Amino acid sequence: MKALEQIGLAALRRVDPERAHGLALMGLNAGFGPRGGPVTTDRLRTQLAGLDLPNPIGLAAGFDKNATALHALAKTGFGFIEVGAATPRPQPGNPKPRLFRLAQDRAAINRFGFNNDGMETISGRLARRPAHPVTGLNLGANKDSTDKAADFAKVLAHCGPHVDFATVNVSSPNTEKLRDLQGKAALSALLAGVMEARAALARPIPVFLKIAPDLTGDEIADVANVANASGIAAIIATNTTLDRNGLHGPHKDQAGGLSGQPLFEKSTRVLAQLSLLTDLPIIGVGGVGSAAQAYQKIRAGASAVQLYTALVYGGLSLVDDIARDLDALLARDGFAHVADAVGSGRADWL
């Protein structure tokens, strides 16, 4: 099976990256993908913001932007998935080409700009999703919105009844002035509006906050202070980076957000710093491509992890491999539960 998967991945990498991604989603929906469900053990089972997860390996937002592969993804090994980002109105995003592979670095650069079908369409698909796995929605703002902060609350109010959690994404580098909303005053006001929309839901769900890896120490402290006071349930650290140090290949200087292996150390240091400043659970994202890297994120302070770019190079079978190997690493080090390992190696990253 893995040999066939590698052949398929090699073929997809000969196609334009965005088209290849669309073909991958089509193949997944046609049944070409893992079908055994999530790997789980007593060590891997955990809770995240009150949500029961069979394992702590999640799918990051961006893979299934429009919630078109929910039933197929339910058969894969993820302990939880996040779709979107969704904005109030549909939008095409930035001009193509807007996705670039950096194969030598096992990385990617994208400048999609929140291209999506809009909250009405995405909400309809979410309403028909399977009960498992735990499924969340990444909330976004329209590029031409005059009140971007209000857009997040709108999407939550409309889609919230159909998901298990929602993520406020103020950290994408591809929507002009979006990252400005990470400032202390702006973020406080934005989250107040989102939490008001959450309180109005018949079933209030946990709200997460996704932050950028390019914050200074003072900015990380500001985010932590706002998060602690806001009532949100977790922080996702981190989104893509604008850093371009040490990259290779013809696309290394493309504009957009960099994801994949080059982001691993930077994002892990941010989550370790953040974990000292808040008791909120943290989801570690950025460069996770192996069980060893997932374990490093967890030991740095993450309660769970997410991946996406690594799937371009390793395929969906990577998810089961990471879960099984993570279980073995936990057993090797004497941890009865993954939650016991959270923060146990934080000092290595400070």
Q: Averaged over 96-113, what is the pLDDT?
A: 97
Q: Running DSSP on this structure, what letter comes out for residue 141? A: -
pLDDT category of residue 35 using cuts at 50, 70 and 90:
confident
For residue 7, count other CB atoms closer than 10 A to its CB: 10
What pLDDT, on a 0 to 100 scale, did the predictor assign at position 1? 66
For residue 343, count other CB atoms closer than 10 A to its CB: 17
pLDDT above 70: percentage of residues in the chain: 98
Active site residue 317: no
What pLDDT, on a 0 to 100 scale, did the predictor assign at position 173? 74
pLDDT category of residue 296 using cuts at 50, 70 and 90:
very high
Q: Phi and psi at residue 306, in whole multiples of 5°?
A: -130, 155
Res. 176: pLDDT tops 70:
no
pLDDT category of residue 174 using cuts at 50, 70 and 90:
low
pLDDT category of residue 34 using cuts at 50, 70 and 90:
confident
| 292 touches 268 (CB < 8 A) | no
What pLDDT, on a 0 to 100 scale, did the predictor assign at position 185? 87
User: Would you call 209 exposed, middle or buried from its count of C-beta atoms within 10 A (0-12, 13-18, 19+)?
Assistant: buried
Q: Averaged over 239-250, what is the pLDDT?
A: 96
Q: Phi and psi at residue 346, in whole multiples of 5°?
A: -55, -35
The residues facing 99 across adjacent strands are 110
Residue in 172, 230, 267, 303 annotated catalytic? 172
Instruction: Quote the tokens at residue 221.
Output: 């402290």
pTM as predicted: 0.96
Q: How far apart are CA 101 and CA 234, in angstroms?
A: 30
The residues facing 80 across adjacent strands are 58, 134
Q: Averaged over 323-344, what is the pLDDT?
A: 98
What pLDDT, on a 0 to 100 scale, did the predictor assign at position 44? 98
Q: Averaged over 217-222, what is the pLDDT?
A: 94
Domain ranges within the chain, ordered by starting residue: 2-349
Is domain 2-349 classified as CATH 3.20.20.70?
yes
What pLDDT, on a 0 to 100 scale, did the predictor assign at position 171? 73
Res. 19: pLDDT tops 70:
yes
Q: Averaged over 42-70, what is the pLDDT?
A: 98
